[in-house]
Amino acid sequence: MNIAHIVWGLGIGGVESMLVDIANYQAQSHTVSIIVINDNISSSLADKLDSRIKLYPCKRKVGTKNPLPIIRLNLDLLRINPDVIHIHMEGIVRLVRIKRKATVVRTIHNITSIPNEYPKFDKLFAISKAVQKRTQNQGFESEIIYNGIHFDQIKCDAHTRGTPLRIVNVGRLENDKGQKVLIEAAKVLKEHGVDFSVDFIGSGKNEAELKELTKEYRLEGKINFLGFQSRTYVYENLCHYDLYVQPSIFEGFGLTIAEAIAAKVPVITSDLEGPIEVIDGGHYGIPFQCGNASDLAEKIMLFYNKEITIDTEAAWNFAHENFDINSATQKYLDAYESLAHR
């Protein structure tokens, strides 16, 4: 099978990392190409691509009206002549003029996706029940294929909780990821005498604002900004933390929650449908009210005082059964085959 994936950019992000995993798996037995429309390719991510995958950069500048990159996109599709065109982001399908015999599919990664493009696809995939429910409410059917992770690559050494309570968050430093809520909760923890530290792993447009808030709350000795770190670094070091906090304001799934569970680190997450799904409705993690720093602080203090606990072994088993990368990627191939023979 000849498969072409199309994305706006190949920067550092959950969608892009997931695409690399999917493409690498597919390249073991199929011809795989990735077309990147914008001039945004992370070398650290591109270097992880299987050598058999052909990368087609269109080098479009963001905001430009120059038609040449879009012409290049369609010429690349003409050369590739794919059986399947798999689109991972909004706004791309309207640029695809040449598809010939190809089946065109789309993975919907968040609940805020706009449905006006959906009729252009032969099939829609949703990354969670929450996304599928949203898609159904918009009048479209989709198949759930969860984002997957590499359980065999994530270190999960036995770890005894000590002091301070080591809290970590991994992700882009942007409004929808909710790091501000965690900083506000940290202020409450300090006021209650909790011995803790918070490490933010990631970078983003809100970094300066979050650092300023940390300074305003006099939390410089408690909160650390580690910047962007490679996935290898994250997978090696997650297990050294006592608690993973996901304070997202918007989240379609919550891949980093699954990664923390794979490292056997207890999780507290905002009660959005996607993240709640990853912890099986609260069986394998602790939910708090989305956006409510006081509630988050309360849940952290309950965990700190050992008034609530999480069975990390049971959580690992649940996540491994549902979010393993090999299972997820094979489901995409099965769906492609099904569409080809319908």
Q: Map out the domains of the chain with their CATH numbers.
A: 2-148+324-340 (3.40.50.2000), 151-322 (3.40.50.2000)
Q: Model confidence over 119-141: pLDDT tens digits?
A: 999 999 999 898 999 999 999 99
For 16-85, give the secondary structure using H, E and C.
Answer: HHHHHHHHHHHCCCCEEEEEEEECCECHHHHCCCCCCCEEEEEEECCCCCCCHHHHHHHHHHHHHCCCEE
Calculate the dihedral angle through the C-alpha atoms of 8, 11, 16, 17, rounding to the nearest 10 degrees. 170
- Backbone φ, ψ for residue 9 (5° rounding): -145, 165
Q: Model confidence over 4-22: pLDDT tens digits?
A: 999 999 987 778 989 999 9
pLDDT computed for residue 99 by the predictor:
76
Q: How far is CA 60 from CA 2, 7, 33, 40, 77, in A?
A: 25, 12, 18, 9, 16
Taking the C-alpha atoms of residue 237 and residue 157, their distance in angstroms, rounded to an integer, is 10
Cβ neighbourhood burial of 19 (10 Å; 0-12, 13-18, 19+): buried
Dmax (CA) of the chain: 65
Q: Model confidence over 269-316: pLDDT tens digits?
A: 999 988 999 999 999 999 999 999 999 999 999 999 999 999 999 999
Q: Model confidence over 138-175: pLDDT tens digits?
A: 999 999 999 899 999 999 977 778 889 999 999 999 99
Structure tokens at 286: 């602790």
Using alpha carbons, select from 208, 157, 158, 166 the residue that is nearest to residue 189: 166
**Is pLDDT above 80 for 117?**
yes
- Give the type of residue at 311: D
Taking the C-alpha atoms of residue 151 and residue 263, their distance in angstroms, rounded to an integer, is 8
Identify whether the C-beta of residue 76 lies closer than 8 Å to the C-beta of residue 47: no
pLDDT computed for residue 112 by the predictor:
79
Centroid of chain to Cα 217: 29
pLDDT computed for residue 239 by the predictor:
96
Taking the C-alpha atoms of residue 287 and residue 228, their distance in angstroms, rounded to an integer, is 26
The single residue listed with the structure tokens 């942007």 is: 174
For range 53-82, the mean pLDDT: 95
**Is pLDDT above 80 for 342?**
no
